[in-house]
Amino acid sequence: MSTIIMSVCWPLQDMTPAQKAVLISLADNANDEGVCWPSIARIAERTCLSERAVRNALRWLEEVQLLTSHQRQGRSTWYTVTPAAYAPGSICPPASNAPTPAPAAP
């Protein structure tokens, strides 16, 4: 268990309880570099989620760059937890009909 990875993951916001539970489960298994290799069944058991819910959470965690999965030959997968890459709302373009901002006041 990496207390470094865990301490960075706990305060993260803007995710569902299932996504947070899977993230914390992975962080709890990770070494100080964020590497871990629990099975989906093991994550499901630890989080009390279905395997489908775990897969959906893993997919979302990858999309937001909190996690990278690495496939090995056969069916084995290992993960790298990267909480420093998570920046919710940082890539939010303005609406197409948004007004142009006024220039800054002197």
- Neighbour tally for 45: CB within 10 Å: 14
Task: Name the residue ranges covered by the structural domains of the chain.
Answer: 3-85
| Distance in angstroms (rounded) separating the CA atoms of residues 15 and 23 | 10
| Percent of the chain predicted with pLDDT > 90 | 53
Query: For residues 101 and 6, which has the higher predicted lDDT (pLDDT)?
Result: 6
Residue 59 vs residues 19, 46, 82: alpha-carbon distances, Å: 9, 18, 14
Average pLDDT value over all residues in the chain = 85
User: Contact, 47 vs 18, CB < 8 A?
Assistant: yes
pLDDT over 90 (residue 20): yes
Q: Which pLDDT belongs to residue 106?
A: 61
3-85: which CATH architecture?
Orthogonal Bundle (1.10)
> What one-character-per-residue DSSP string does 2-21 give?
-HHHHHHHTT--SS-HHHHH
